Amino acid sequence: MLTNLSIKNYALIDSLSVNFKDKLSIITGETGAGKSILLGALGLVLGNRADSSTLKDTENKCIIEAQFSISNYLLESFFKENALDFESETIIRREILPSGKSRAFINDTPTTLQVLQALSEKLIDVHSQHQTLQLSNSTFQFEIIDAIANNFAKIESYKRGLVLFNQLKKELNQLKATQEKAKEQYEYNLHLFDELNKAVLKVDEQEEIEESLDKLNNIEEIKLNLSEAQSIGLNDEIGLQTLLISFTNNLNKISGFSKEYKELFDRAFSLKVEFDDIAAEVENLNETIDFDPSELVKLNDRLQLIYNLQKKHGVKSIAELLVIQEELSVKVDAVENSSGIIAKKENEVKSVAEKIDELAKTIFQQREKAIPVLVKKLEKSLSNLGMENTRFQFKLTHSNQYFVNGKDELQLLISANKGVNFGELKKIASGGEMSRIMLSVKAILSEYLKLPTIIFDEIDTGVSGDISQKMAEIMQQMSENMQVISITHLPQIAAKGKQHYKVYKQDIANNIVTKLIELTEDERINEIAEMLGGKNITTTAIEHAKELLS
């Protein structure tokens, strides 16, 4: 509920602050007094664009504040999602600087116009004649039907499902595109993979082959040196083994005379044991070494294969070739197994589609049930507003196309008089009729939804007499469930308000300013009397005003 509006330095307003109350509030004033200025200022708080031309004094900034009581609006999650401090009495402030720049605050926290607009939609609905065009909008028509059908929870579930469905469809299309692209390279990748796979490469294989080839290519020198080493080591007379035996025996003979000699013998003996082992291994290698031409060819061929593969793939090691082999395996598998992956994704898409189709069907069925209820309520309300011959047709069709709120298409047709064919609303109804239809719609919605504060900006244009009395009764009835503010020029509506405000201009030192005051009971009688009979208020007008107020 809007509880206070404060405006400083805006258009013809120097400064004003007004408190608003619940139920039905009335705002009246002569044409040009500044009612539109008041709405313009409120529009800035609600997130409308602004520039420095709105400033009364271009040297100072414009400040507009609106206070709302929101404890029953269930907006805690909105404030949390947008990093705002939740207050049951929330203040929205808009500042327009002389430079034309503007700033917006919610409970003193800076915010963006986008967040401001999103919040204001939940707090206040400013309804003007221009907004009656909403009636021709199918989205708005669906909102009316869905309110009666209690469809909003189902539609939210449908929307979440639709987001998932569209995401899965996107993924499926990407998979198919990737598959097509991969197919183009499949044969070549398969050839490369098979080539590497048949090579059966091992990480350390190249080093081992190069070492083996080094031995085979130097086999004669190796054989010669092993033979000479064997002769030096094992010659019966002057071989190292014979000499070491003699050397060790001499030390053994004196090892018992001191610890020092014993240590020398032990070291010499260890040396002899190690040499015996080396000599035996040299003898064994010399006897087993053999030159195998076929092995040399085999190893050379294998090494050349490795070199060719490395050159082909632009790498320098078998480890890198094995990485490429794994990558090729993935690419080949992606094509060979893609049918299964795509089939799985298609099943996911189908499963989600079935669920949202079922939801959409339920939404459609609930809408079918709600439409006769809506038509009956509309026609009854409009009959009271002087449109007793008005008839409505809502043509609802369940389609195969996914829309944001279901799978239905809607066409609203209207017949304003007996014997007149049904036609589109915007072509059949006049401005005054559209206003009465919109008022009826809002009244019906207030029965089913917790609507925000609504401001009717001269919705009564084009009506008078008994019709205006009926419109006033509808607004008064609506105000039992919500705050209603009506800017009106009709005394019948003005008299129904719980409180009454007047907008007027005042000349202060040759400076025209717009003022807004709440009228006392006597002031209210005079205001309504003036609305009834003009500036020259008569006793009859006063009595008539009192009668309306009573």
Q: What are 376's two structure tokens? A: 């009956």
Class of domain 1-128+453-519: alpha beta
Q: Do 398 and 361 contact (CB within 8 A), yes or no?
A: yes
> What pLDDT is attached to residue 130?
61
User: What does the block give as tokens for 253?
Assistant: 């003979």
Cβ neighbours, 10 Å, residue 182: 16
Q: Which residues contact 347 (CB under 8 A, 6 or more apart)?
A: none
According to DSSP, residue 376 is labeled H
Residues 6+ positions from 78 with CB-CB distance below 8 Å: 84, 118, 119, 122
Q: Are 352 and 161 in contact (CB under 8 A)?
A: yes
Question: Is the whole model's pTM more than 0.85, yes or no?
Answer: no
pLDDT tens, position by position, for the chain (550 residues)? Answer: 999 999 999 988 889 999 999 999 999 988 777 788 888 888 898 888 887 778 888 888 999 999 999 988 889 999 999 999 999 999 999 999 988 888 999 999 999 999 999 998 889 888 876 666 678 888 889 999 999 999 999 999 999 999 999 999 999 998 888 777 777 777 888 888 899 999 888 888 888 888 878 777 777 787 788 888 888 877 767 788 888 888 888 988 888 888 998 999 999 899 989 988 998 888 888 777 776 777 778 888 888 888 899 899 998 888 899 999 998 888 887 777 777 888 889 999 999 999 999 999 999 999 999 999 999 999 999 998 888 889 999 999 999 999 999 999 999 999 888 877 888 887 887 777 888 888 899 899 888 887 789 999 888 777 777 888 888 999 999 998 889 999 998 999 999 999 999 998 888 777 888 889 999 999 999 999 998 888 888 889 899 999 998 8
pLDDT at residue 132 in the model: 67
- DSSP, residue by residue, 64-109: EEEEEE-TTS--HHHHHHTT----SEEEEEEEE-TTS-EEEEETTE
Domain layout of the chain by residue ranges? 1-128+453-519, 177-338, 521-550
Residue 339: how many CB atoms within 10 A of its CB? 10
Contacts of 77 (CB under 8 A, 6+ apart): none
Contacts of 513 (CB under 8 A, 6+ apart): 12, 13, 14, 505, 506
